Amino acid sequence: MTTTNSNTEHELLCGIRPLLEAIEAGKELDKIYIQKNLQGALFKELWGVIKEHKLPYTVVPKSRLDKFTRKNHQGVVATLSVVQSVDLKEIVQATFEKGEEPLIVILDRVSDVRNLGAIARTADAVGAHALVTTMRNSAAFNLDAMKASAGALAHLPVCKESNLNETITYLQMSGIRVVACSEKTDTLHYETDLKGPMAIVMGSEDKGVAPERLKAADAVVKLPMMGKVGSLNVSVAAGAVLYELIRQRSI
């Protein structure tokens, strides 16, 4: 069965069999919500498919699923993505072939759809070539995110990656510098060379960029904070860094 939740305004798939059929049909799922301690032969079949295709999922209590729909969900609800994921390697290769310097924006576990949308809007405005997110622990690509992006998510290529560490390594091997944004540094963003092929990493709202990503980055920068508040909203910080990058590129 398929239903639409009027609160979130994005299509839901409810039930194990409809979900299996959607996966077989090649529909792109944004996230699968699985009831805690779910058992049964049909669920084992679904679980095997989820692991085989490395699909994004999260385990939740039944009460969470009941908030999605009043219909029989059989312990499984999935949200359909409003954007189609593209291959990052194809984006990078095509960008270099066009003689352009890649600009990639990486979101490390950014979980708020409004922040996701706002960053996508800024990324599109500065001419970024792709927005990279994690398959798990990231904001949903639903209609709320699309609205927050002012439609930018309909144009900006989105790449959903299962392993950001491997993604960063690939970008570096492709000649793209990776700069992470974190308050855990003394280096200001305008003191760092942001010209050339570049990937900017923005971290989650509560924990920031993961330590392993900070270690892997070619540079770590922060924004100057002169008031009493120690940090900025991630979408505001992303805008400041991206426009400093554009300023440097224009010199």
Give DSSP secondary structure letters for the chain. -EEE-TTT-SEEEESHHHHHHHHHTTPPEEEEEEETT--SHHHHHHHHHHHHHT--EEEE-HHHHHHH-SS--TTEEEEEPSS-B--HHHHHHHHHHTTPPPEEEEEES---HHHHHHHHHHHHHTT-SEEEEESSSS---SHHHHHHTTTGGGTS-EEEES-HHHHHHHHHHTT-EEEEE-SSSS-BGGGS---SSEEEEEEBTTTBS-HHHHHHSSEEEB----SS-----HHHHHHHHHHHHHHHHH-
pLDDT tens by residue, 111-155: 999 999 999 999 999 999 999 999 888 888 888 899 999 999 999
62/116 same-domain check: no
pLDDT value at position 249? 93
53/98 same-domain check: no
98/75 same-domain check: no
Angle at 219 between CA 100 and CA 93, to 5 degrees: 25
| β 177-181/158-161 pair status | unpaired
Q: From the CB of residue 57, how many other CB atoms can be counted at a distance below 10 Å?
A: 19
Quickly state the pLDDT bin for 211 (edges 50, 70, 90). Answer: very high
pLDDT value at position 7? 37
45/122 same-domain check: no
47/111 same-domain check: no
pTM of the model: 0.84
Asked if residue 29 has pLDDT above 90, the reply is: no
Could you give the CA distance from residue 83 to residue 116 in angstroms, rounded to a whole number?
13
Q: Which residue has the higher pLDDT, 242 or 145?
A: 242
Could you give the CA distance from residue 103 to residue 133 in angstroms, rounded to a whole number?
14
Asked if residue 6 has pLDDT above 80, the reply is: no
Quickly state the pLDDT bin for 4 (edges 50, 70, 90). Answer: very low
pLDDT value at position 69? 83
| Contact yes or no for 157/129 (Cβ under 8 A) | yes
Supply the range of the domain harboring residue 32.
2-80
Distance of CA 135 to the CA centre of its chain: 7
pLDDT value at position 24? 87
Asked if residue 66 has pLDDT above 60, the reply is: yes
Per the listing, tokens 């426009």 go with: 243
Asked if residue 213 has pLDDT above 50, the reply is: yes
Number of domains in the chain: 2
- Counting residues of the chain whose pLDDT is more than 90, the rounded percentage is 66
Could you give the CA distance from residue 98 to residue 195 in angstroms, rounded to a whole number?
18
pLDDT value at position 5? 40
185/145 same-domain check: yes
Could you give the CA distance from residue 9 to residue 99 in angstroms, rounded to a whole number?
40
pLDDT value at position 28? 83
User: Which residue, 45, 80, 115, sits at the end of a domain?
Assistant: 80
User: Which residue, 49, 80, 111, sits at the end of a domain?
Assistant: 80
Q: From the CB of residue 1, how many other CB atoms can be counted at a distance below 10 Å?
A: 13
Mean pLDDT is lowest, of 1-10, 78-87, 104-113, 203-212, for: 1-10
172/244 same-domain check: yes
30/95 same-domain check: no
Give the highest mean pLDDT range of 15-24, 135-144, 210-219: 210-219
Q: Residue 11: which CATH number?
A: 3.30.1330.30
13/103 same-domain check: no
pLDDT value at position 8? 39
Q: Which residues have C-beta within 8 Å of that of residue 15, sequence separation ≥ 6? A: 1, 72, 73, 74, 76
Residue range 100-111: mean pLDDT, rounded: 96
56/146 same-domain check: no
